[in-house]
Structure 1
């Protein structure tokens, strides 16, 4: 069986890699076409566009792996069936359960590769590509609001780990490609939401350990426990000041990032930050569970491919099976995206929203296997 396992695994791996490379080439071509109108902005040239597209490919590897696994497995099994090899395997005692376990062992490798790309490689390459592109174009990160970027954190007694004593709203005019904050304003409130201070800074640089170095600082404090009304408002100026905050460059980058391109760790960190500040977390919770469950869709797609090994079409052959596989893969992607939006609109549990598409197709795969065994 070990020889047979290695033979089938080699056939499947080769077919899956071929399908994946074909998809990557197609998506890279479309992305390059999309980048052509931006060539000439700043120092952004054709070679920069090629590099930007290449740095986006790990994200496509993560997105396309289940479909590539489905089509590649269908092709490999169809070829084995066309050469009567699968029939000989069945006649030699290969049961459906044994064939399923044979595919599962190959699928586990693809699951690990998908998780590796989704958790480590794709998020890093996507963020690097966006920053590098902005630097080449001489642009800054900014939101589509005239008031700039807004975010919120808690003010604690001992920096990061004490009891909350108030809240802070951060407004940033622009965020440069290297992570520097420009045009910074802080609005600090006590626990009763009384304004206690307004801080303005020309720019801020992150120094690590949740510490920002503010430059050219103007601070206005408001006190309610001073009898003299004229002394309740005080303004001071300083060349620099350190600010300890829960907000880090990673959290700020989330505001510009697509949740589907973030790592599970980044999503968990940002979801915790939102929850602590009483903000809605539904979108990021759904993205977090999708990030954990999506790699397992590779196993579901390979389970869907197994029934094709038992089917013998009178016409069409391998090409018809591959076409059906493509339709199934597209349907899965559409359903996966649809459930994300439905779950967000209807406030479904995040785990259920993420797992339902894969569970639905797994039931279809089990039903198809039962049907082909009976017929």
Structure 2
């Protein structure tokens, strides 16, 4: 193992990690400060300073997740650049440590940073965003996060749900259920005052059922009705949340539900692929940064490398957004829309690393 991953490899990885941690701390602090000032300037009387500060803290993992490619780029530029400035890279190369081996060590650092991005995107960032929304929703209207204050339309097989008040993911009120047959003929409408989910079924309370049959209409009232449906509480939660607030596993379940009911899942599918490709993007950023240290920027100092990293990081972010929007506009597949910028960056990184002097 030591021959595969030696002491110098660990030294380079730790150098990248150390500077990435410093850069990450600085960027997240700036990102959070801007969020805090934005919320304060919005002038919302329902949110106090303490609540805004709590929301800012809860959104820090989300901010780090968004900034991870830039953090990886700047951390690598400064970390490997520091080794170059102290002539440590020169000594390594003189001892037979090739550019490709330096790139391999950087690749390992990039993979580890990519794992961190996965942890952030799958658990910490969604949990923080949902908790922050909970604080905001409760402060503004006493409605828990993950609950929509607007009417929610959903399809479940031949049934259409109109939920006017979603009180919790397993509790809604003031709803109507439109029941159609296979020929899309309206057969009945259920007006529901209140509904709770328990043991795999929805318990509908105080229901007025209007049935349409031929030339007559029948109205029945039910104190309670049991309703078995594919509309599970977790689907309701994922549906009303922003896609960025849902983990990849949650997006998969939501996409499965939407596709099973013939609903458009293109936005959710694109967001899923962006989450899946995020760790590869972080790794590509690290590899792309390494060759710049071998070139003329070595003599420009940390400031020039920092500026270079910011420009490349911002440019890549813009390219990523343009690719996603063009994909939505022209109907590209989600993997193409989400993965093209990262694929181009990775190819350029490998070419530059192989030809670096």
| Fold in common (TM above 0.5) | yes
Task: Identify which of 149, 152, 167 aligns with 1:176.
Answer: 167
For 2:153, the equivalent position in structure 1 comes to: 150
Tell me, what secondary structure is at the counterpart of 2:165?
Answer: strand
Q: Would the alpha carbon gap of residues 99 and 115 (structure 1) be closer, same or farther in structure 2, given more than 3 Å must change?
A: same
State the 1:197 CA deviation: 1.4
Candidates 69, 82, 95, aligned match of 1:66: 69
Corresponding pairs, count: 349
Distance in 2, matches of 1:242 and 1:132, equals: 33
Of 184, 194, 201 in structure 2, the residue corresponding to residue 193 of structure 1 is 184
The equivalent of 2:212 in structure 1 is: 222
| RMSD of aligned residue pairs (Cα, Å) | 2.0
1:220-249: CA deviations, max 9, x gaps?
Answer: 22234xxxx5xx432222222222221223
Among 246, 249, 253, which residue is 2:230 paired with? 246
The correspondence of residues 72-111 of structure 1 with structure 2, limited to 5 A, is 72-111=75-114
Give me the whole-angstrom Cα distance separating, in 1, the residues matched to 2:10 and 2:298: 30
TM-superposed CA distance for 1:256, in Å, is 3.1
Q: Secondary structure at the match of 2:240?
A: coil
Question: 2-side partners of 1:319 and 1:208: how far apart?
Answer: 60
What residue in structure 2 maps to residue 329 of structure 1? 313
Residues 250 and 92 of structure 1, relative CA distance in 2, 3 Å threshold: same
SS across alignment from 1:94: coil
Alpha-carbon distance, 1:128 to partner: 2.4
Give the alignment's TM-score, normalised by structure 1.
0.87
Aligned to 2:13: 9
How far apart are residue 39 of structure 1 and its match?
4.6
CA contact (8 A) 1:201 1:215 kept: yes
The equivalent residue for 1:304 is 288
Cα distance, 1:208–1:123 mapped onto 2, change above 3 Å: farther
Deviates more, 1:345-354 or 1:237-246: 237-246
Q: 1:343 maps to what in 2?
A: 327
TM-superposed CA distance for 1:204, in Å, is 1.9
Residue 151 (structure 1) shift: 0.9
> Would the alpha carbon gap of residues 199 and 5 (structure 1) be closer, same or farther in structure 2, given more than 3 Å must change?
same
- Contact 1:205–1:212 under 8 Å retained in 2: yes
SS class of match (1:316): helix
TM-fit CA distance, 1:318: 1.7
CA distance in 1, matches of 2:169, 2:236: 12
Separation in structure 2 between the aligned mates of residue 295 and residue 338 of structure 1, nearest angstrom:
20
Q: Does the CA-based 8 Å contact 1:77-1:308 persist in structure 2?
A: no
Alpha-carbon distance between aligned partners in 2 of 1:25 and 1:179, rounded to the nearest angstrom: 37
In structure 2, the residue matched to 1:212 is 202
How far did residue 64 of structure 1 move?
1.0
Q: How many Å apart are 1:72 and its aligned residue?
A: 0.5
Q: 2:38: which partner in 1?
A: 34
Equivalent residues in 2 for 1:122-133, closer than 5 Å: 122-133=125-136
